[in-house]
Structure 1
Amino acid sequence: MAHDLATLKAHFLSSDWTISEPALDALISLASPEVLDFLLALLDQPDVLVRNRACIALHEIGDSRAVPALLQAIRKPENEAYRGSLVYALEYLDCQHLLPDLFDLLFYGDSEVQMGAKRILDHQSFTFRADDLYAIKSKWEAIRGQLEQRVNPFTTTEEIQACVNGFLAYLRE
């Protein structure tokens, strides 16, 4: 099995999709701790295609132990133009403690990042404090006008406002 896993890892790193895709599928089906460690190490990979493949696998495996590494990769300035796949990987993971981070992605991310953050915000439950909500409210008030200037066919200012309002309603209870 170790040789097979080593081969799968090597094939996963191939630039030839006909070689890497079957390895991707096989690693997802294995979903072992060694596979998880391998995929998490690839989040530092400079090759965006390899990193994106790792994100696809992490999304499919759905192991929430990946959340800290994904969040760290999202925060790296060098990944700014490539955060969409990293946010995608978070979609089914436990993000209950990431409410402020997800709103930052919703407010400041590109279209793909905004869509991913909104999906998470719409479908998961969160643990938060009133201070988190006041910070979100303050950021929204500061960024709203700028967002209205950006053209984003996927996530409108009104949708973001509705998302913000949904969480700020907890301040009134």
Structure 2
Amino acid sequence: MYPIHATIKKLLDEEWFEEAMTRIAELGEKRDQSSVEFLIDILVESQNTLVRNEVAIALKDIGDNRAVCPLIEALSNAEMRKSRGTLLYAMEDMQYEAYIEIIVALIGDANLEVRLQSFLLFEKVADKLSEQQKMICKNVILQFKAVSANANEMLDEALDLLRN
């Protein structure tokens, strides 16, 4: 384990969250590829929303695609509900297209930040999706609109992107 990782782990164990988040941010700023797995472990294990958000931002700064799958899994974790907007934001410059159906479903989320981030991710790749992915996304959106009180104009815009 790298010394900085041991320091962060100790700070988290002792609940010195602000100092730990400062060190986590430094890993992101340095774009430290060797810290990706360490950060993913914190993302999965931490119960602190602010720490998880800082980890997601550090992973975004590093930009390593190894983080995509854990970020997607975190979106499905009920304990990470308050971090969804940040988790989506973290994937902005990564290759998340394989999980687009999960992201598209969040365009109908009750939280505005989550809706916006998921729509922005979808909009960024809509023209690059396979026909099968487009069909799946369209079905996800239509099903959501049919059963949800949270239907919004972004869902209609997403459908428009699929028609082009």
Instruction: Please say whether Structure 1 and Structure 2 have the same fold, judged by a TM-score greater than 0.5.
Output: yes
CA deviation after TM superposition for structure 1 residue 21, in Å: 4.8
User: Paired residue for 2:157?
Assistant: 162
Answer whether contact 2:108 2:152 (CA < 8 A) is retained.
no
Gap change, CA 1:133 and 1:123, over 3 Å in 2: closer
Residue type of the alignment partner of 1:42: I
Say if 2:68 is the partner of 1:67: yes
Say if 2:29 is the partner of 1:29: yes
Aligned mates of 1:127, 1:97 — CA distance in 2: 11
- Classify the secondary structure of the residue corresponding to 2:98: coil
CA deviation after TM superposition for structure 1 residue 161, in Å: 0.8
| Map 1:19-168 → 2, pairs under 5 A | 19-44=19-44, 45-108=46-109, 110-124=111-125, 128-144=129-145, 149-150=149-150, 157-168=152-163
Aligned mates of 1:111, 1:63 — CA distance in 2: 27
Q: Could you list the runs of 5+ residues in structure 2 that have no partner in the other structure? A: none
Aligned Cα RMSD in Å? 2.8
Gap change, CA 1:141 and 1:123, over 3 Å in 2: closer
CA deviation after TM superposition for structure 1 residue 168, in Å: 3.1
CA deviation after TM superposition for structure 1 residue 69, in Å: 0.9
CA deviation after TM superposition for structure 1 residue 157, in Å: 2.4
Aligned mates of 1:75, 1:32 — CA distance in 2: 27
Residue type of the alignment partner of 1:117: S
Length-normalised TM-score, structure 2: 0.79
Aligned mates of 1:86, 1:28 — CA distance in 2: 15
Aligned mates of 2:66, 2:11 — CA distance in 1: 24
CA deviation vs aligned residue, 1:5-48 (integer Å, no higher than 9, x gap) = 5335545775453x245413321233334311111001212221
Q: Which moved more, 1:102-111 or 1:122-131?
A: 122-131
Gap change, CA 1:38 and 1:124, over 3 Å in 2: same
CA deviation vs aligned residue, 1:138-173 (integer Å, no higher than 9, x gap) = 3333332665x44xxxxx82333122211133xxxx
Residue type of the alignment partner of 1:107: G
Identity value in percent? 22
Residue type of the alignment partner of 2:76: R
State which structure, 1 or 2, has the greater radius of gyration over its C-alpha atoms: 1
CA deviation vs aligned residue, 1:117-149 (integer Å, no higher than 9, x gap) = 1111222366544343333333333332665x4
CA deviation vs aligned residue, 1:33-78 (integer Å, no higher than 9, x gap) = 4311111001212221211110111111111111011111112233
User: Paired residue for 1:153?
Assistant: none
Aligned mates of 1:64, 1:109 — CA distance in 2: 28
Aligned mates of 1:2, 1:145 — CA distance in 2: 51
